[in-house]
Structure 1
């Protein structure tokens, strides 16, 4: 009898806690439902490894595979770390043209010894020597130009070396010795580097070494015209899948009682390797967002994709926040997501 009372009391306590959590996120949910943040499709908040709030604002619901665009790039960084841990790549300093098919170098336009020296870490930090900048519509390496050709990896290999006029800091003069330029073609190429190294289709390796251990089923990959799984964007995952990936890194690479990704790789990935802009550093395909919070500034490692899709890690709160959207055609969609996070969700934690 006492045991039954104790169990009932515990259940009541848990129900009360869950209700309190739900109530604390009512402001955020109401704001989204009223259209303040445009097309938010889902929000998930987890703390200490448990979901404390989860809501879907579209018909797809919990089982919908969300095209979170460049969040895929962070997954590519995870796969590179696993390929190194498995002994398929010697390390982040491995030169990519030593791994890619020989034809890549043989057919290369604009050959240059500095291109031959491009390594895995250059791709992980968006700082390779070739002229590639998605944020510059005139860049030869802009991703929209890549999609116009059949062979996306050869597109990257053919790019000329970046010039550094007087008004642009050279890599040696930049923070961390790297000139950051956001380059989807480089991460697309990283996907083929990993695939060539592991001698297995990238999507199969990802499933076996990353997704299966996390219980992530049936991810929806996009492919290049030549059939390469696109490491640079477009991977469709459920909102809970995105949480699992974020939680994996918040927990130092551990999940389900096992070390899925090496702890040292997680540490390196979440450490500043390049400076992206004033309010963000960059790790290994992780944004390290600097968020003003109270009288302090906290660093939130972030998986981010077009439209304002994001997975935020909040180590100080032991929390993961997932926000998915379809705000692809909105001006400054990331600002909408950031406002939702900082104004409504973080205070609720």
Structure 2
């Protein structure tokens, strides 16, 4: 999502036919098939907890695991909330270097008391004090630099403290008291924080506490060279799995008659905790996108990843919209996703 805020063999799968009215979404499907939105791979629309439209535009179909890139970060926020609820992570104010293996601090380059004070909440809100900004190619913490080394978490631990020249707002002068800078390395580190706190591999904890209760099977994780499940991106999930995650938060953390996520954590996650700018606020690893729809601007919580891969929550319509793509090399692919959502999908609801 950070780089742009703004068809192959067809496979059609029909579910919940009695609830669906394909004609409502005919214009959207026709435009996608004509290539207007480039490489859209799937669209799912659910309203009132039921799928009302679902179509696959590639050969992988319903069982394909979609690499939705940075939408994985939202899953990391869910796992942090569960670790806190389980009493394994002291809380959002827990200092990460008090949780991580002691070697992280012992081997740290650029030691600084301000780095020692970094909290879980700092990572959840993309606002820690270290110099890490994926939107700046010159940033010491840019994720492309991280991938060149073996130990991704130590990469984050070694980063220097961010400087704030006169033209850059200091955290104290920023909305919510936080200076937002998109940092994949920080969420990667959050994954190890959760893993260390719960005492089991991150992927195993995710399966037991989040995916199994939702009926999500065989997720495809990516791993660091040292074997850490990558909380910062690349998790492969089916389109319906992404819907289940979105529906979980739309329903206040409940699924299948059980409280899977604490309702208070859901509310906090979907509330502004930092500000990206005029176009979006940021919760706990949830985008709060300000999307023009007709004559008004709607704030839509979203899980978002490179290429325009997005899970939108539409609280007013009690709807979830999942759009997956392979528009990784397109210019401003999120604008294509927003256009599909606002011009064709929302009106159909």
TM-score norm. by structure 2 comes to 0.95
Change (3 A) 1:216 1:16: closer
Q: CA deviation at 1:293?
A: 2.2
* Higher percent of residues as helix: 1
Change (3 A) 1:108 1:27: same
Change (3 A) 1:15 1:219: closer
> C-alpha distance in 2, partners of 1:261/1:122?
21
> C-alpha distance in 1, partners of 2:119/2:105?
14
> C-alpha distance in 1, partners of 2:316/2:293?
11
Alignment of 1:1-349 (within 5 A): 18=20, 21-349=21-349
> C-alpha distance in 2, partners of 1:284/1:15?
36
Change (3 A) 1:294 1:227: same
What SS does structure 2 have at the residue aligned with 1:289? strand
> C-alpha distance in 1, partners of 2:128/2:260?
28
What SS does structure 1 have at the residue aligned with 2:109? coil
**Structure 2, gaps ≥5 residues long:** 1-15
**Does the Cα contact within 8 Å between 2:19 and 2:51 map onto a contact in 1?**
no
Change (3 A) 1:68 1:15: closer
Q: CA deviation at 1:279?
A: 1.1
> C-alpha distance in 1, partners of 2:213/2:308?
28
> C-alpha distance in 2, partners of 1:126/1:75?
15
Aligned to 1:5: none
> C-alpha distance in 1, partners of 2:295/2:39?
31
> C-alpha distance in 1, partners of 2:223/2:90?
27
Q: CA deviation at 1:277?
A: 1.8
What SS does structure 1 have at the residue aligned with 2:233? coil
How many residue pairs were aligned? 334
Q: CA deviation at 1:295?
A: 3.0
What SS does structure 2 have at the residue aligned with 1:288? strand
Change (3 A) 1:146 1:16: closer
TM-score norm. by structure 1 comes to 0.95
Q: CA deviation at 1:17?
A: 5.6
**Structure 1, gaps ≥5 residues long:** 1-13
> C-alpha distance in 1, partners of 2:294/2:339?
15
Aligned to 1:7: none
> C-alpha distance in 2, partners of 1:87/1:320?
31
> C-alpha distance in 1, partners of 2:331/2:17?
40
For residues 51-103 of structure 1, give each alpha carbon's deviation from its aligned partner in whole angstroms, at most 9, with x where no partner exists.
00000000000000000000000000000000000000111000000000000
> C-alpha distance in 2, partners of 1:343/1:127?
33
For residues 93-150 of structure 1, give each alpha carbon's deviation from its aligned partner in whole angstroms, at most 9, with x where no partner exists.
0000000000000000000000000000000000000000000000000000000000
What SS does structure 2 have at the residue aligned with 1:307? helix
Change (3 A) 1:187 1:17: closer
What SS does structure 2 have at the residue aligned with 1:111? coil
> C-alpha distance in 2, partners of 1:78/1:342?
27
Change (3 A) 1:164 1:59: same
**Does the Cα contact within 8 Å between 2:327 and 2:333 map onto a contact in 1?**
yes
Q: CA deviation at 1:15?
A: 6.5
Instruction: Provide the aligned C-alpha RMSD in A.
Output: 0.9
> C-alpha distance in 1, partners of 2:257/2:124?
28
